[in-house]
Amino acid sequence: MDTSQYMSMFLEESMDNLQVLNDSLLKLEQNPEDVDRLNEIFRVAHTLKGMAATMGFSNIADLTHKMEDVLTQFRDGELKVNQNVVTILFKCLDTLERMINNISEDIDEDVDIKDIIEDLEKLVNEHEDNKEKKKEESKTEVNNCNNNESADGNLSIDLNEYDVNVIKQAGYSGFNAYEIFVFLSENTLLKSARAFLIFKDLEEYGEIIKSIPGTEDIESENFDFTINLVYLTKKDKEDIYNVLINIAEVEKVVITEVNLDGIAETGKEIGEEPVKAKEVKAEVKDNHNTKAKARQEKSSNKENGTHKKSHQSVRVDLERLDKFMNMVSELVIHRTKLEQISQKAKLMELNETLEQVARTTSDLQDLVMKIRMLPVEVVFNRFPRMIRDLSVELCKDMELIIQGKETELDRTVIDEIGDPLLHLLRNSADHGIESKEERIKSGKDPVGKIKLTAYQEGTKAVIKVSDDGAGIDPEKVRAKAEEMGINTEGMSEADIKNLILLQGFSTNKEVTDISGRGVGMDVVKTKVTSLGGTLDLISEVGKGTTFIITLPLTLQIIQALLVKVGSETMAISLGYIDRVIDYNKDRIKKTNNKEVILYGDRVIPLVRVNEKLEIETEDSGKKYIIIVKVGEKTVGLLVDSLLGQQEIVIKPLGKTLHSLKEYIGATILGGTVTLILDVSALV
């Protein structure tokens, strides 16, 4: 049988299992006596091993098996959880992740696991004598169990005369006949896939002559979590048990020998008391009754015109979602064009239909947006392990606190935001958090706190990375700036601190693998800006530093204000706009050779958009100032006129115009291309 159809499921489940192992190992290191956590790690590692073996990835199965040996010693109390042992297990997880990524990306690379296996074996060999002793005791116990007299009971599966003859003939040829009960975990999502893997593995060593459920029920997933088989093989019970229990999501296996006089011998599960065939039969009978009842209800539902859904979710290829989003975007463009035609031609009878189309399109748009949204947890969950490793590497006591991981962002933003956050967290660990001695001397908690927070604010998502470290010293930044030839005269303290976001700017005198190369912070700012977001910095010496990333919830369809700059029509995202005020010459003043506007009790810098974009302005008519907020900064943008609010679809500019930093893209309005201003670049 071909297992390729289950490859994507294997890859997804394996990466999920590795993440669970990472998280659980971190928690176990902090609380070594947590038995539940240890059992969870053991269970997940066992599942990963079984899945890899089933799919034929022997290297992954071998490495996980060695890892299981160490975990067994944890569980048996032979080995203590400490930093050294956990570090070796983390190396093991990193190697497994690399191997699974290679499979995912179809990279033909032989990952050398010799060194890591040697490290794991060293840990195991420290207590090998105790382990062997326990094995012998366990072996004696199993033998005693096998020597017990079997209880009488009828076979759970009804066999016809042909089946009985097949079993008899097989017995003459040296085959054993077993009745097998396989109990799947109740959390199993794809029962038919698991059943397929069970059948595939058993058929390698013998023949299945009868099964409940049957093939049709298995394919339609019309069965509970129990599979009952009659099986012929030359292997013994222990071998078959080991084959089945290593399959992912198999919770329990009971094997009984078939007695052709109508008696099934004592059911035996390794490490458990014998199970009487009568008891098992009763349980299976109940399952059969439940299934019969379910089929009856299903039939009744069909007659009544209702049909209960068997699945509440479905996996969809991301490429299909992208196409869906593009089609909705095109629909929005043509809807806008229709509205403009209707207004020009004054076709009143079209208005009602267009309003209905507009509502439906908006609902469809909201729906596709929600489908594409993912919680930031998928990015955040890899950072606790990273901070733990940095804590060991830098010899600093650090703790990562995560808040708001359920906050949702567009899949495109999620894919891109990981690296900037990685840079910021590494910067906090290296530059921000002081050594234990320095923190004690300053009267701080010896354990440094790094906080990663996410929340939604209107149409934007805010992600904060903060630490309670040394903060940024503006004098050090000023000295470095002047050394680089940057004039800091007239700059506020906040502006000076923000200089660290410039390319190649670093106050770290030593170059390390963690930070200090001057390539981190400018990369963060560039990436955040390319996503239509902003990056702000707040820092206080001795108290700590906070980086604030503000991002749009989605990158493709936005509400915008259309404005005129000279003869050109431009669009500005409403997400940036605080308010719009009339232009009045009397309000404009000059300070440090720069224009500002007096608004209420605030002094706001003024940007003449036509001068920035080198467009000739039109003197006629009323002008407006659009007050925009970019992170912590507020600026007034002077435009020639307002054209109203519009829902627009952002289209990329393409390679030719990619260097134009003043625009985040373009949109099509009434058949003409309209550029969308990048407010953060103007500010």
Phi first, then psi: what are they for 306, rounded to 5°?
A: -115, 155
Average pLDDT over residues 575-598: 84
Residue 262 reports pLDDT greater than 90: no
Q: How confident is the model at residue 307 (pLDDT cuts 50, 70, 90)?
A: very low
Paired sense of beta strands 176-184 and 206-212, if any: unpaired
Phi first, then psi: what are they for 398, rounded to 5°?
A: -135, 150
Average pLDDT over residues 481-507: 76
Tell me whether residue 267 is in a domain.
yes
- Top mean-pLDDT range of 183-197, 432-446, 517-531: 432-446
User: Is the model more confident about 254 or about 488?
Assistant: 254
User: Residue written as tokens 């928690």?
Assistant: 27
pLDDT of residue 355: 84
Token representation of residue 336: 């806008």
Last residue of a domain, one of 141, 160, 182: 141
pLDDT of residue 277: 37
**Which runs of consecutive H residues, i.e. helices, occur in 31-160?**
35-55, 58-75, 83-104, 114-125, 128-147
Helix (H) or strand (E) segment spanning residue 106? none
Residue 296 reports pLDDT greater than 60: no
Q: With pLDDT > 90 as the criterion, what percentage of the chain qualifies?
A: 7
Question: To the nearest whole number, what is the mean pLDDT of the chain?
Answer: 77
Per-residue pLDDT reduced to its tens digit, 92-142: 888 888 888 888 888 887 788 888 888 887 777 765 554 455 445 444 443
Tell me whether residue 313 is in a domain.
no
Last residue of a domain, one of 141, 174, 195: 141
Helix (H) or strand (E) segment spanning residue 206? strand 206-212
How many whole angstroms separate alpha carbon 507 and alpha carbon 529? 23
The domain that holds 343 is classified in CATH as 1.10.287
User: Are the beta carbons of 269 and 241 closer than 8 angstroms?
Assistant: yes
The domain that holds 93 is classified in CATH as 1.20.120.160
Residue 503 reports pLDDT greater than 70: no
Tell me whether residue 458 is in a domain.
yes
**Shared-domain flag, residues 155 and 211:** yes
Domain range holding 55?
4-141
Average pLDDT over residues 361-387: 85
Tell me whether residue 310 is in a domain.
no
Question: Which residues lie across from 454 on neighbouring strands?
Answer: 463
pLDDT of residue 281: 38
Average pLDDT over residues 20-33: 86
**Shared-domain flag, residues 505 and 537:** yes
Per-residue pLDDT reduced to its tens digit, 34-51: 888 888 888 888 888 877
Distances in Å between the Cα of 158 and the Cα atoms of 155, 164, 426, 645 are 7, 10, 65, 73
- Top mean-pLDDT range of 299-308, 355-364, 613-622, 649-658: 355-364
Q: Which amino acid is at 396?
A: K
Q: How confident is the model at residue 620 (pLDDT cuts 50, 70, 90)?
A: low
Q: How confident is the model at residue 468 (pLDDT cuts 50, 70, 90)?
A: very high
User: Is the model more confident about 136 or about 643?
Assistant: 643
Tell me whether residue 309 is in a domain.
no
How many whole angstroms separate alpha carbon 383 and alpha carbon 513? 17
pLDDT of residue 283: 40
pLDDT of residue 70: 82
- Top mean-pLDDT range of 127-141, 314-328, 509-523: 314-328
User: Is the model more confident about 8 or about 620?
Assistant: 8
pLDDT of residue 303: 45
**Shared-domain flag, residues 382 and 525:** yes
pLDDT of residue 110: 79
**Shared-domain flag, residues 389 and 291:** no
Q: Which of 5-14, 64-73, 390-399 has the lowest mean pLDDT?
A: 5-14
The domain that holds 638 is classified in CATH as 2.40.50.180
pLDDT of residue 126: 61
Q: How confident is the model at residue 58 (pLDDT cuts 50, 70, 90)?
A: confident
How many whole angstroms separate alpha carbon 125 and alpha carbon 72? 13
The candidate with the shortest Cα–Cα distance to 78, out of 67, 69, 65, is 69
**Shared-domain flag, residues 153 and 135:** no
The domain that holds 510 is classified in CATH as 3.30.565.10
User: Is the model more confident about 140 or about 348?
Assistant: 348
Please, is 60 exposed, middle or buried when counting C-beta atoms within 10 Å of its C-beta (0-12, 13-18, 19+)? buried
Per-residue pLDDT reduced to its tens digit, 598-611: 887 788 888 888 88
Q: How confident is the model at residue 242 (pLDDT cuts 50, 70, 90)?
A: confident
pLDDT of residue 138: 41
User: Residue written as tokens 């570090």?
Assistant: 87
User: Is the model more confident about 328 or about 428?
Assistant: 428
Per-residue pLDDT reduced to its tens digit, 471-483: 888 888 888 888 8
**Shared-domain flag, residues 213 and 181:** yes
List % helix, strand, coil for the chain (3-state, nearest 5).
45, 25, 30
**Shared-domain flag, residues 472 and 511:** yes
Q: What SS3 class is residue 583? A: coil
User: Is the model more confident about 263 or about 432?
Assistant: 432
Which residues are identified as catalytic?
46, 68, 427
Residue 676 reports pLDDT greater than 70: yes
Phi first, then psi: what are they for 626, rounded to 5°?
A: -100, 115
Q: How far is CA 442 from the centre of its chain?
A: 38
User: Are the beta carbons of 463 and 375 closer than 8 angstroms?
Assistant: no
User: Is the model more confident about 602 or about 263?
Assistant: 602
The domain that holds 185 is classified in CATH as 3.30.70.1110
How many whole angstroms separate alpha carbon 424 and alpha carbon 434? 16
Q: How confident is the model at residue 678 (pLDDT cuts 50, 70, 90)?
A: confident
Average pLDDT over residues 386-396: 89
pLDDT of residue 520: 62
pLDDT of residue 143: 44
Residue 315 reports pLDDT greater than 70: no
**Shared-domain flag, residues 172 and 285:** yes
Per-residue pLDDT reduced to its tens digit, 395-439: 899 999 999 989 888 887 888 888 889 889 998 998 889 998 999
Phi first, then psi: what are they for 429, rounded to 5°?
A: -70, -40
**Shared-domain flag, residues 221 and 121:** no
pLDDT of residue 447: 92
Q: How confident is the model at residue 452 (pLDDT cuts 50, 70, 90)?
A: very high
User: Residue written as tokens 């032989």?
Assistant: 110
Sheet strand arrangement including 176-184: 206-212, 226-233, 176-184, 250-259, 263-264
**Shared-domain flag, residues 179 and 247:** yes
Average pLDDT over residues 608-621: 80
pLDDT of residue 147: 40
Phi first, then psi: what are they for 452, rounded to 5°?
A: -120, 115
Tell me whether residue 215 is in a domain.
yes
CB atoms within 10 A of CB 560: 25
Per-residue pLDDT reduced to its tens digit, 148-171: 333 343 566 777 777 787 788 788
Tell me whether residue 306 is in a domain.
no
User: Are the beta carbons of 676 and 584 closer than 8 angstroms?
Assistant: no
Phi first, then psi: what are they for 583, rounded to 5°?
A: -80, 130
pLDDT of residue 677: 85
Token representation of residue 209: 């002559």
Tell me whether residue 47 is in a domain.
yes
**Shared-domain flag, residues 637 and 568:** yes
User: Is the model more confident about 87 or about 299?
Assistant: 87
Contacts of residue 659, defined as CB under 8 A and 6 or more positions apart, other chains included, come to: none
Domain count for the chain: 5
Report the b/e string of 299-335 with b at 16+ CB within 10 A.
Answer: eeeeeeeeeeeeeeeeeeeeeeeeebbeebbebbbeb
Q: What is the DSSP string of 448-503?
A: EEEEEEEEEETTEEEEEEEE-S----HHHHHHHHHHTT---TT--HHHHHGGGGST
Last residue of a domain, one of 552, 587, 611: 552
Per-residue pLDDT reduced to its tens digit, 553-578: 766 677 889 998 888 888 888 878 88
Paired sense of beta strands 663-669 and 672-677, if any: antiparallel
How many whole angstroms separate alpha carbon 373 and alpha carbon 285? 45
Average pLDDT over residues 487-492: 76
**Shared-domain flag, residues 296 and 445:** no
